[in-house]
A = this chain, B = another copy of it.
């Protein structure tokens, strides 16, 4: 037989198992401006040649790669890092090649050490250098030629020739002129979606503006203009995002009354998620709240207080939404010709019409939905909390978020998808900046440890940014219903320290609202979703002071501003959880201990991983409780803790590292 002629790509270096890489590069990883990306890869070739490798990276708007060094670890694994310095997409990949000069120099060294004759080797080296000179600019070519001649200079001795081989300048010049067409570039350019800092570190406060009436006996429905002092109250606790449920006109048809009853009286405000009335749709403002000008004023007032306003993006309509008449084909029809309302059999939601994202007119619908986002961006909004994204097509979100962020890379989208894990992760991969989580239902030490290990110590950490909510208007957990004030404190500390982003629905949270609509329900009794509520913000048992302390601790400690650097430590009492957060440079270390039992005092011994914390087992270290203000002197891994949930169920301990001074040493001298 005739042999088929080979026609192979013969590049010898293999680059594989590059991390981070999400689904073969289909999705970007996420970072915020200033953060680092640590890249690793398996890099190897046949035989025994030495290799060189670099990490290539650039902003998507740049045309040339920047280089960062890759260093060999063990077992053919290499590592490098680069920082992302601006918003938008960044790209990275890996390049590697056989380092012929390095191989030659390594082998020469071995032969010299073994006392072998290296005449021929020096000649070979001179040839290699001369070849590189041929590829170099005039200036470098002259230098290379001169350095190459030194390897075989008959005028100097063998020792001088050998020393010339190890010249540092020669190595640098050879590295700068590798052989062409031999390098392997990893076939994928991997992406980093770079957001602003708030995407990583944020404290949210959800409120219903219609309840923001200071006068407890006052009018039924507050306006946005009434909300000024409430914004001051929220800012005073140290939050940085104030999130409003939909502020658009609420539908009349099938409007729900208090506690979700199906008949409403004329003054009942209805659920703000039933969007649209004769007053307008998603780009209008509920008249009882005010006007578009009031929204802008609200945003401006918030800004003065260092608060950002997040709006709700709920792509669904009340039967009275203008689109129902203007675009009847944007909705599903039932066989009897009526518009299909929302259902989760056997439950019916007749005040809500879902949109048909797959309508033949889908392009126009999607464009209109995008227009809504751009409209609110125009008004100054940069954060959107997205309602139930998992019931709309994945393709829509990828397109919408991509389209918005191409223009406005500073926009943040929070995914409210309380659904199956893989769907939640998919939405995060498709572009959502932050995501709600299962945190509200993770109460035991085992559950918390498992879940937060998954969120922070697996690939999920590269694309899924958790935002931890102990409560929402839809979620009043059994734990909060039954555990009293200690339960609220416990969940608050966990949310604010396990995650860099957290939020509460207030004032229900700080005012310890824990009555369910009925036993077994996670709905609030007299939920603000269906009625205006009056709140006594000055209640003596309000969590306001401790929230303020916790938010201050978060601002003062960089370790609490990232989801990286979380580590769990053993405690000999199952009701106590201990974990630390630390910055990558190790300069800021916070140790948190929480009593998870809201009923009883617990004590136990924590067993700290001192090595990981960078603590010297031989020296005491001071820990400062940022909640109680107490100082403790700890030493070694084993330290005693005792927490009474009725006073304070948690320590948030800032570690003050022992600093060695003359005095310390004098003790031993």
Chain A contacts to B: CB under 8 angstroms: 1, 3-6, 8-12, 14, 16, 23-24, 42, 44-48, 75-76, 107, 110-111, 113-114, 116, 120, 123-124, 126-127, 334-336, 343-346, 358, 362-363, 366-368, 370-371, 374, 390-396, 398-399, 403, 407, 420-423, 426
Contact = CB atoms under 8 A, between A and B. Distances in A.
Contacts of A358: 10
Nearest to A110: B345
B420 A127 contact: no
B107 A394 contact: no
A142 to B, nearest CB: 23
Nearest to A333: B124
A5 B363 contact: yes
Most buried by B among A23, A110, A394: A394
Contact of A12 (B9, B114, B394, B422): B394
B335 A46 contact: no
Contacts of A1: 374, 407
Contacts of A8: 395-396, 398-399
A407 B403 CA distance: 51
Contact of A422 (B23, B44, B110, B114): B44
Contacts of A363: 5-6
A576 to B, nearest CB: 30
A17 to B, nearest CB: 8
A279 to B, nearest CB: 24
B390 A46 contact: yes
Contact of A336 (B120, B336, B362): B120
B46 A394 contact: yes
Task: Give the 6 A-B CB pairs with smallest separation, nearest first.
Answer: A114-B346, A123-B335, A3-B367, A110-B345, A8-B395, A107-B345
A419 to B, nearest CB: 9
Contacts of A398: 8
B114 A393 contact: no
A464 B110 CA distance: 34
A108 B295 CA distance: 44
B346 A390 contact: no
A404 to B, nearest CB: 10
22 contacts: A1-B407, A3-B368, A3-B371, A8-B395, A8-B399, A9-B395, A16-B23, A24-B24, A42-B422, A44-B422, A46-B393, A46-B423, A48-B344, A48-B391, A75-B422, A76-B420, A76-B422, A76-B423, A113-B346, A120-B335, A120-B336, A123-B336
A47 B346 CA distance: 16
Nearest to A336: B120
A392 B49 CA distance: 12
Contacts of A392: 46-47
A479 to B, nearest CB: 24
Contacts of A111: 345-346
A75 B127 CA distance: 62
